[in-house]
Structure formats: C-alpha cells, structure tokens
Structure 1
Amino acid sequence: MKIRRFYGKDMRDALSQVKEELGGDAVIMSQKKVGDGIEVVAAYDKEPTKSAVQPQAQPQAKAQSSVTPLRQKSDTLSSQAKASPSLSEIIGDEGQDSLRALLEKQGAIPSQPQTTSEPGPQTQPVADPKPVPSQAQPAAQQGSMDDIRQELASLRNVLEFQVSGLMKQQRQQERPLHDYLIERLKQMGISESLAEEVVSYTPPNCEERDAWKFLLKLLANKIHTSNNDIVRNGGVVALVGPTGTGKTTTIAKLAAQYARRHGGDKVALITIDSYRIAAYEQLATYGKIIGCQVKKAATSEELSDLLYQFRNKGLVLIDTAGFGQRDARLIKQLDTLSQSSYASINHYLVLAANAQRQVMTHTLDTYGQIPLKGCILSKLDECYSLGEAVSVAIEQRLPVSYLTDGQRVPEDIKAADAKYLISCAARLYKQFALGAAKTQRAVNSAVSI
C-alpha cells in the first residue's frame, strides 16, 4: 500500500484531486487543515492506470483552469468519471451517503440542507454552500479525539476488571484459605487493603478456626488506645466532630466521672456552640447535676479569658458546635480553638461508630487541620458493624480513647480497650452479617428448587 498527500483550497477540491489522481479505489486516511487549505492523506494498493491518472498541468494550465467556469469544470469531471470507475460507483449510493455523513460529522465538509422534490419545471442548479469556517474544524477534530479517548478509557476499565477477576480466581485456587479469610474480614466491615495486609501474616498450614482467632488478635494489637487519659490526666480538652455524634452527652459523662474522683469543684465546662438552640442551657443542666461551673464563649478572646479564669481546675471540657465536613462555619470554629493562646488544648474527635467508612475518613481529613489527641467512638449500641470504625482507626493511626454505648450519664462510657472493641466487632459480625448470609443462601436454594 502506498500513501500520497493532496492539498486543496477546501475538502471538495482535495477529494476531486484524489479521485482524479488515484481513482475510486483510493482510501482516505486522514485530513487536516494546513495554512489556507486542506491536506488529505490517501492510500492505494497499486499504481493507478494511465486512464485514471491525469498528467500534472503546468503552472500556466493551473492558472487557466482556475478561471474555468463551474459548469465547464463539472462537465470535465463527468467525462473523466465515465472513463474510470468513480468512488460513488464502487461504494454505492448508501456508502456514499454514509461517507458524506461521516465527513460532515467530523467537520471536514459542510452539511447540505435537505430539500424536498416537488413536481414542476426544472430549476437552475443551486450553487454549492459556503465551506465551514476554518475555526470550526479544530473544534470538531478535538471533539472526535475526546470521543476516542473516552472509548479507550472505557475499554481499559473493562480490561482491568476482567484481569482483576482472573487474578482473583487464580488466588482462590492457589490460596483458598487466605481468600476465604479476606472475604470474612470484609463482611465484618474491615477494608480490603487492611484485610489483605493482616491475612498475609497468617501462618501456613493453619486451620480456619485458629487462623480466624489469630487475625482477631492481630487486629487488636494494631489498635492504639489512650488508657483513660482524659479522666486520669485532666487538662483542657475540647471535643469536636460532626453534628449528632453525641459531643455534649459525652462531655457530661466525662465530667461526672472526673467529679466522682476529684470533686465537682475541680471540673469546669465551657461551650462555644452559639449556633444550636439551647446548647448552653443543656450543658448548664448537666453542670447543675454534677456540681460544676458552666460558661459560654463566643470568640477566641473570651475563650482565653475563661481558660485563665479556670486555670486552677483539674479538668476543663470545651463543647463545640457540630458541623458537617463541607460547612464553612467549621473553619471559623477551628480557628477559634487554635487561636486561644492561654492554654494548650487537647482535641478529641467524636465519631459515630455506625457511620459509613467514607464519612469517617472525610471527617478525619477535615478535622485533621488541628492536631488530634485521639478519638471517641460513640453510639456503639446502634451499630450493626464495627469493622468500618476499626479500619479507620487503624489506617489513620488515630488512638481510640473512649467508647460510648448509650445515653445514661455517666454509666454508658468506658475507656477504650482494643480486645473489647474487636470482640464487639466479631460478635456483631456473627449476629448480623453471618445471619444475613445464611438467610440469603436459604432463599437462593429455595428459588433454585
């Protein structure tokens, strides 16, 4: 196959040259705009016959042909078409219409308006429409390239999915126990990356029951806890987190536990929540029950003054407003905490353990603008799975300080224990995930029968 380039003032002129030089067997490979004209790349399998190939005219002949009337030029092309097979004769009417539609879609030639034929006297031939402006052709070419890129990306995604499926099948055949354990951990809520990591440490030639116990112990060893540091060490502590995670109730539980050990006069509560209705009144009610002072701060200056006023207290707990990760007011609140220059504030993030893994991850990314001392997992009594919270705590390397599992003050709070947390996660997995799987298998078997 040989390739030749043709240059014309527009696409119609270039195609005419291809037809005259190479005949109807030529294949259009590409077209692009160059200078004030169009460059067309055409390919042909064999040398064109002498009847199809027209000798190149001299410059004087080209100049003379440029001034030839349109009717005379069309008559010449018609006579040449009779001498050699044309492109339209080879591909037929339908192929010609398809080729023209493709070229119009790519912006190579202008589209022709549709006309309806009505009986009547013969009219004069209509002049050719004006060519598309040259500025529209690069946009059309760019659109075609974007479509090709999208198709290639879709094909790549499908191929990657198929390859991953083949690799998974191969892994199941080579290491069936490892794949089974990974699936169990994923059903428990553990992320796939963490599950593959811990399963890789499973001893070889280990039974399934022993391997499962080994994995649970390994997960427990990966969880960091702070050993009741708030009640044990005291200081200035601020609880932050999204709305509805139970920050105010958790503050009341911590204050009550500290007051039991050291007395109510050693505890002080501060709220900087000026958005929620009756936020101060709710905290003040807890303060009256515990027997501690409760104050409200609207700015960082007021917060610094109150911290100086409570400098002799053993524990000062700061209640913050709950905002979503995309709320602009959250940044203002975090600035208020970070600009308080009197005392060092220990920030603890309160996370609802029944939230989705992505929600907890994005929450950590947002509140990571301030240094976090640890986290408090709330609403354990409302969970159907704890693996998500365990995965986030391990992967983000965030210590777990306390666990809350109810609304009672101060009973429903305990210092975090890694073994207890993993045992709760395993118990929820057996209670809900395995039960649902057995029910689904029973339904599938009944349907198959």
Structure 2
Amino acid sequence: MKIRRFYGKDMRDALAQVKEELGGDAVIMSNKKVADGIEIVAAYDREPVRKAAPPKPDTNVMSKPKVAATQGQKTPSLSEIIGDSGPDSLKALLEKQSQQPQQPAPASVAETVSVSPKEPPAVRQDEAELNDIRQELKSLRNVLEFQVAGLIKQERQQARPLHGYLIDKLVRMGITPSLAEQVVSYAPAQCEERDAWVFLLKLLANRLHTTQNDILGKGGVVALMGPTGTGKTTTIAKLAAQYAQRHGANQVALITIDSYRIAAYEQLATYGKIIGCTVKKAASAEELSDLLHQFRNKGLVLIDTAGFSQRDTRLIKQLDTLTQSSYANIKHYLVLAANAQHRVMEHQLATYQQISLQGCIFTKLDECYSLGEAISLALEHRLPVGYLTDGQKVPEDIKVADAKYIISCAARLFKQYALTPTRTQQVVNSAVSL
C-alpha cells in the first residue's frame, strides 16, 4: 500500500485530484483543514494508470501505518482504521458529496457593504441638499410669478388707468377680483370716473336676479335651509306673519324637522301661537309626507330645518329627508348671513347644492360692513335672491329682494366704511404723524 497527500482549496477540489491521479478505488486515510484549504491522505494498492504529477516540494515523509500487512492478509479499510462506518472508497465518498446540497460561500466584506439597505451618509446628505435646492427654486419661481403678475397689472393700469382704478374700487367694495375685472371690461374707455362708476353699478344691478316675491306671491311648500345661526326660524316667522296678514292665519302652516336643537319646536310654536297658525313637528320622511298631505289645502306651508355646519354629516341625512318626501313639490331656499366671508358662503352653497335651490335669502344686513361678498356669490353662481332681513322684529324686518336696492346698499356701505376712515384709523394716523 502506498500513501499520498493531496491539497485543495476545498474538499471537492482535493477529492477531484485524488480521483484524477489515483482512480476511484483509492482509500481516504484522513482529511483535515490547513492554512491553504484541505489536506487529504489517500492510499492505493497498485500503481495508477496515469502517472501522478510530481508532489509538492514541501511534503513530509509519512511513515507506513503500523498495521501489519502480511502476505495474503486483506488490507484494512478506512473504516477499520478510524472506526468510521462511512464509505471507505473515493468513489463512494464522491457520490455522497454529490448528493449533499452545496452550501453558499460566505459573502466577502465588500459584498456585505454593497448589499446593505442603508444608504451611505454621503448619499443622504446629497439628497437633502437637492431637496433644499428644489425648495429654493420653487420659492424663486413663486416670487418671479408674483413680480411678473405685478408688472402685467402695472402695464394694464398704465395703458388704461381708469379701468385699474375701477377694479380696485370694486374689490374694496367686496366684489371678487375676477368678477371685478369681468365687469370693468364692459366699461367705456373714454368717460369720466363718476359716469363709469354709475355704469358699473347699473351693470351689476342688471345682472343680479331675484325671485320676484315668489314665496309670498305664489305660496306652496317652502323649506328654508342653511347653516346654524343664520336666522332661519325668525325668517320663517316673518314670512308666515306677512302671508297671514294678506290671506289669513288659517292659510299658513309651519312644520319643523329640527330634532337636534333644544327647544326648536317650542320656539316655532311660540311664533305660531302669536300668528295664529298651525305648527307641527316631523321626525322622519314618512311623518313629513303625512303632514304635507294633511296641509294640502293650505296656501303656504313653511318647513324649518336644523342648522348644521357644511362639515356636519347629519346634514346629508336631513337633505335625504327632504328629497324622500315626494308628496309635494318642495321649493328650497338657502338662508345665508350676508356678513359672512365669501369663501365661507362658497363652501355652504356647494354643500346645499346637492338638492335644487330656487333661490337664497340674505340675513343680517344690519350687521354688514360690505355687501360685495354676497353680491359676488349670487352673480357668480346665478343664484336668485328672494328676500333680505335686517333685524329681529317680526314681521317688519324683512324686504322683498330688489336688485337696485341691493346694489345701492352695497355702494352706501362702501362709501361709509371703505372710503371714510374709521375712528381707529384716525387715531392711528394721528399717532404716526406725531
């Protein structure tokens, strides 16, 4: 028996060398890990068919095993030497190795760094700097757009100074800038400032639609809707009182579907008792339909609804109650406070436009410092104006909407509060002059 040593980078490589030089019948004596890889000691009984490559110079001479090899005695196998029950031939060992799944080699340090999910600090810093640059460019763009718009406006004012003056005057009256530019575009180019202003006021009055006293003149079933605090219940009492004065209290009926506000029914019942008309309460669409059928011979039936914010989900339920009651043709009027901001009125109108609106009623004119916001809302959405209220007295403080009257009130408020400095402004100016 002859013994040889083989070195490989791993077990598979070393076994391949043994098979190539000694054949598949070689016996593996031992294997161990060394600095360069794997060392295998193999033994064979006869010379291999192929000549083995010259051994490495740095090899230690290994003495023959101390196992007696007498003539005729069988050569001990690897299992007999090391007491292992595994395969003792190279062929069997190779077959066993091929059946085992190959383990992936451990990743190097460079590969570990490259697949790390965390970005390097330099990359994050560069991304932050790019975001800062984007924000700065966006700010510069906004400033440039503002400057360009100002230059365009200045150029228009220089080309047509009267038009620029009239636009500014309408905006200070409360008219929205877009509507002001649209209206001023119809003003004659060559005319006095006074004549041009009167022309614009007449133009606004001609474009403002009204309902021509539809509720008191035609009667029917009318529901007043709107946000809380706009004066719906008081407006219903004023309309009911005026209709009762003309046609009799037995021709008027009041219904409330406000089951949310405390004492809502009691307040309306008090007005009904003073007027002398019937007052009922409906908690559902079925009850409302029954009451409308009961009051089918009345000249005017007024429905008081609950006041909800445009963001309140209960408003949708109330609107559904009105639309489900299909017994009578209900005319819907939106009640809005004329002293509210234009954007607030825009959102309120958008919410209540889920159902068809026949018109609107502006309240609290006595608390207004300008009417341009309410006028802009009615003109931009082509919403007819039905009535105006300017106090709490029942039934005196309600007027049938008239376009010329509304525009004249707006011009008067503009002249009183926008053109004439207030006492506070006078005090501030006096302090500055000192």
TM-score by length of 1: 0.68
Q: Which amino acid aligns with 1:328?
A: T
**Equivalence for 1:322:** 307
Which of 280, 300, 320 is equivalent to 1:295?
280
Distance 1:373 1:263 in 2: 25
Which of 269, 277, 280 is equivalent to 2:262?
277
Q: Which amino acid aligns with 2:243?
A: Y
1:401 aligns with 2:391: no
1:166 aligns with 2:151: yes
Distance 2:259 2:127 in 1: 53
**Equivalence for 1:52:** none
Which of 251, 268, 272 is equivalent to 2:236?
251
Residue 297 of structure 1 deviates from its aligned partner by 0.5
Q: Which amino acid aligns with 1:306?
A: L
Residue 191 of structure 1 deviates from its aligned partner by 0.5
3-state secondary structure, aligned to 1:436: coil
In 2 relative to 1, CA 132–338 (structure 1 residues): closer, same or farther, beyond 3 Å? farther
Distance 2:417 2:248 in 1: 43
**Equivalence for 1:61:** none
Deviation digits for residues 275-325 of structure 1 (CA, Å, limit 9, x no counterpart): 111000000011111111100001111111111111111111000000011
Distance 1:347 1:228 in 2: 14
3-state secondary structure, aligned to 2:262: coil
Deviation digits for residues 180-226 of structure 1 (CA, Å, limit 9, x no counterpart): 11111111000000111111111121100001100100111110001
Which of 376, 382, 391 is equivalent to 2:367?
382
1:316-355 → structure 2 map (5 Å cutoff): 316-355=301-340
**Equivalence for 1:218:** 203
Q: Which amino acid aligns with 2:259?
A: S
Which of 337, 340, 349 is equivalent to 1:364?
349
1:186 aligns with 2:171: yes
Give structure 1 stretches of 5+ with no counterpart.
Answer: 1-126
Distance 1:143 1:417 in 2: 61
**Equivalence for 2:191:** 206
Deviation digits for residues 20-49 of structure 1 (CA, Å, limit 9, x no counterpart): xxxxxxxxxxxxxxxxxxxxxxxxxxxxxx
Deviation digits for residues 148-201 of structure 1 (CA, Å, limit 9, x no counterpart): 443332222111101011112212211111111111111100000011111111
Distance 2:432 2:200 in 1: 35
Which of 156, 165, 185 is equivalent to 2:141?
156
**Equivalence for 1:436:** 421
In 2 relative to 1, CA 424–133 (structure 1 residues): closer, same or farther, beyond 3 Å? farther
Distance 2:292 2:118 in 1: 67
**Equivalence for 2:29:** none
Residue 443 of structure 1 deviates from its aligned partner by 5.4
Q: Which runs of 4+ in 1 moved over 2 A?
A: 130-153, 436-449
1:306 aligns with 2:299: no
In 2 relative to 1, CA 366–133 (structure 1 residues): closer, same or farther, beyond 3 Å? farther
In 2 relative to 1, CA 176–291 (structure 1 residues): closer, same or farther, beyond 3 Å? same
Distance 1:132 1:298 in 2: 70
Residue 438 of structure 1 deviates from its aligned partner by 10
Identity across the alignment (%): 75
Residue 233 of structure 1 deviates from its aligned partner by 0.6
Give structure 2 stretches of 5+ with no counterpart.
Answer: 1-108
Q: Larger Cα Rg: Structure 1 or Structure 2? A: 2
In 2 relative to 1, CA 142–325 (structure 1 residues): closer, same or farther, beyond 3 Å? farther
In 2 relative to 1, CA 333–416 (structure 1 residues): closer, same or farther, beyond 3 Å? same
1:56-67 → structure 2 map (5 Å cutoff): none
Q: How many residues align?
A: 323
Which of 238, 246, 250 is equivalent to 1:261?
246
Distance 2:157 2:224 in 1: 45
3-state secondary structure, aligned to 2:420: helix
Deviation digits for residues 116-170 of structure 1 (CA, Å, limit 9, x no counterpart): xxxxxxxxxxx99x84865444994776665444333222211110101111221
Distance 2:379 2:115 in 1: 61
In 2 relative to 1, CA 132–272 (structure 1 residues): closer, same or farther, beyond 3 Å? farther
